[in-house]
Chains A and B, each alone.
Chain A
Amino acid sequence: MTAPASAPAPVARSSTAPVAPAKPRRRFLTRTPDKLRLAMGSVLALCLLIGAATMVVTLAQSSAMSATSRETGQIVGLLQARGSLVDAQATATNAFLVGGLEPAELRLRYQGALAEGSSALTTLAGQTDDGDARLSSASSGIAVYSGLIEQARANNRQGFPVGTAYLNQASQALTTQVLAPIDETVIDTANASANDFALIAGMPNLRWGLIVAALVLIGVQVWLTRRTRRTFNVPMLAGTVVFAIAALYLANTVQNAADVAAATRESSYRATLATAQAVSLVAEARSDEAFGLIRRGSGATYETDFDAAITQARADLQRSTEADWTTASQELPGLLEDWVTQHDEIRALDDGGDWDGAVALATSSGEGSPAAAYQAFVDTATDYVAEQSNQIQQTMASQGSQVVLAGWLMVIAAIACAAGSWFGLSRRLEEYR
């Protein structure tokens, strides 16, 4: 398209219009009052910024410490729930070995372990951030599992061998629908906890901000001394001193909290996780033992699984001991070996052709029985894990509180510094009016 030819041409502006003489522009920051105003504004902004940043950092550190505390409880809870469910599985399988009329004692133990694992999962599902869906799915899996176990029992009580097939299906359902989502949630929670520990470890970097702020405050006062020929601006100096003391206390507290968190992670946290895993593995090994007996002389695959679980459990206990040699976890390896020795006797009976003797030993109870040895290990380990878990949570909560307190003191000090600086600089400014 083209513009119409009749369109009027734009009128050129007259270049002869009178131009007002340019006002000489006052240069910024050439006068001392301007510089004082800038210094005052900067110092006030700096103090307020430090106060805000301190609150962000200390609350973040406290929050991360609370998170690791909560996550430790969740991991331990998940592993204990896992152990209970696998224990229920082992007990249900042992009940099959005894026969159709399963002993009431085994039935009660199965129900107790299942209820314990199930309710723990339900509680944990409400606590975890990301694991809700998975743990809910695991809870549904428990319903499937217990349904299959009941089918197995009902058939077994009628003397129908199909009960064994349902028992196998129940075992598979437990592994794929319950234990797998629990394991995934444990890993994710441990990774989240690792991130929180890393966050806590980075918090002492706050000190660099505090040092820079202190240098700025000192720099302003040095400039002020040169400019005003007065050695000290007392209100500002007082504010700076308060600031420095609070900053030292804060930096020390944050560093101490980070050190305590790192030490806790290296020692009791890892020892607790390792022990809780060992308990879960030993429960799995017990289930393998029961399934090996059901296969009556053909349980080599289960025995291989048993050996693998026990080897890993031993390694976990070793890690636990290395991580935290000051606590009572030293006795756990011995208790584990006591039970493994009893298991070896069971296997020797079965492998030697005395299946009845093996079953009788495996399902016996009372002092000196394999069940008692297993329970002694589980009870001791569970007590240790609970005690350590509580201690970790208390330590983290205590350190978190101290950090928040130091943070608030820093905020008050920053406000005091701002007020002192404002007052001191205002008086210098008034001298120019």
Chain B
Amino acid sequence: MSVSLSPSPNRAGRLAAVLGALLAGALTLVGCSGPDGWSDLGREPTASAEATAQPSASASATAAPADCGDPRQSYDPLSPLPAPDALPAGSTMAAIRDRGELVVGVSADTLLLGARNPFTGTIEGFDIDVLHDISTAIFGDPDHLRFRVITSGQRLDVLTSGEVDIVARTFTATCARWESIAFSATYYEAGQKVLVAADDPATSLEDLAGQRVCAPAGTTTLTRLADYDVEAVAATTHTECLALFQQGEVDAITGDDTILAGFAAQDPQAKVVGSAISAEPYGLGMQAGQVDLVQFVNAVLAQRVADGRWQASYDRWLAPALGAATAPTPSYGRAAS
């Protein structure tokens, strides 16, 4: 520095220090610390981890096969079916009647089986008709129903927790499920099929090797996909599978023929192909300990088959898509555990 030549380096140094301090004082203020933006907003800094609900194939509610004999086999029906005003004292049905409503777990977006009619706001379908008949048997009126809209994955939980009396939501009776809940006699025999685009040459799951196939989490259909060389994609509900299919996120949907029929009715660019790869005996799910209610429901199911209500309901909802059918033969004789 030039000031080093000065005979009075101390003075010159002091001058430089003074000038430096001026600028330093003025310009080194940026580093002042204090509250940050989080503090001003009254929030704690968090990791910006947005959990994106991308479908994955990890969920499965159905466990390894358990041996329960024939899962279609239910308890003997109550005979004769008591009138609404003569329900056995102390029975589950009497308690429900006293409560004033039958709490039922249903789907609100499975067209033809249980779906909310956007024009009327009511939930209707083949499954719902059964519930109205049970309400009639308990209350003498079909509308003493309190709907709880649930997903496929919630069906077991709402029963084991006692939140609902009956689940009517395309519920396949399996031995694994019999371990925690009880089923009515089979009221419809569905079968697992596959839905593909209208111009897709595939006619079965075997033809979809390496392709993305959607099924709802917590269902037997998703579990069964493990047996095929496909990329299984799980969604929250069947209907979300249809949305993913329409957006090109999945190539096909597998599910019960009843559900797929409802999808085909909503999308003219889709078709249901092949023959059923499984038998899906639908039963109404009930709490494991309420054997009397299961017997009562079985009697109602038998009565509605006998008097033609089953056929009328099937003809209204499913026959146009699935063709003519008759009610399945119920299997009784399960011993109460």
Residues of A at the B interface (CB closer than 8 Å) are 27-30, 42, 45-46, 49-50, 53-54, 56-57, 60, 96-101, 155-166, 168-169, 172, 175-176, 180, 183-184, 186-195, 197-199, 201-203, 205-206, 208-209, 212-213, 216, 265, 269-270, 273-274, 277, 294-298, 315-316, 319, 353, 355-356, 359
Chain A positions within 8 Å of B146 at CB level: 297, 353
A-B pairs with lowest CB-CB distance, top 3: A190-B37, A202-B29, A100-B118
Beyond the given A97-B121, A194-B34, A274-B41, please list 5 additional residue pairs across the A-B interface where CB-CB is below 8 A.
A57-B29, A161-B116, A164-B116, A270-B42, A273-B42
Residues of B at the A interface (CB closer than 8 Å) are 5-8, 15, 18-19, 21-23, 25-27, 29-30, 32-43, 48, 50, 52-53, 101, 103, 108-111, 115-121, 123, 146-150, 154, 236-237, 239-240, 242-243, 246, 262-263, 266-267
Q: Is there an interface contact between B41 and A190, defined as CB atoms closer than 8 Å?
A: yes
Q: Is there an interface contact between A28 and B7, defined as CB atoms closer than 8 Å?
A: yes
Q: Is there an interface contact between A192 and B37, defined as CB atoms closer than 8 Å?
A: yes
Q: How long is the Cα–Cα vector from A375 to B236 in the complex, in angstroms?
A: 34
Least CB distance from B14 to A in Å reads 9
Contact of A212 among B6, B18, B115, B120 (CB under 8 A): B18
Chain B positions within 8 Å of A202 at CB level: 29-30, 32
By secondary structure, the B interface counts as mixed
Q: Is there an interface contact between A28 and B40, defined as CB atoms closer than 8 Å?
A: no
Q: Is there an interface contact between B27 and A46, defined as CB atoms closer than 8 Å?
A: no
Contact of B19 among A49, A162, A296 (CB under 8 A): A49
The 16 sampled A-B contact pairs (Cβ below 8 Å) are A30-B7, A54-B26, A160-B111, A162-B246, A176-B50, A184-B48, A188-B37, A191-B37, A194-B37, A202-B29, A273-B42, A294-B149, A295-B149, A298-B148, A319-B42, A356-B121
Q: Is there an interface contact between B36 and A212, defined as CB atoms closer than 8 Å?
A: no
Q: How long is the Cα–Cα vector from A296 to B116 in the complex, in angstroms?
A: 11
Least CB distance from A22 to B in Å reads 18
Q: How long is the Cα–Cα vector from A49 to B25 in the complex, in angstroms?
A: 13
With contacts A159-B118, A201-B34, A298-B154 taken as known, whether A45 is within 8 angstroms of B243 at the C-beta atoms is: no
Q: Is there an interface contact between B23 and A49, defined as CB atoms closer than 8 Å?
A: yes
Chain A positions within 8 Å of B263 at CB level: 162
Q: Is there an interface contact between A190 and B40, defined as CB atoms closer than 8 Å?
A: yes
Q: Is there an interface contact between B22 and A277, defined as CB atoms closer than 8 Å?
A: no
Q: Is there an interface contact between A198 and B119, defined as CB atoms closer than 8 Å?
A: no
Contact of B18 among A46, A165, A172 (CB under 8 A): A46
Chain B positions within 8 Å of A209 at CB level: 21-23, 25-26
With contacts A212-B22, A277-B41 taken as known, whether A194 is within 8 angstroms of B35 at the C-beta atoms is: yes
Chain B positions within 8 Å of A273 at CB level: 40-42
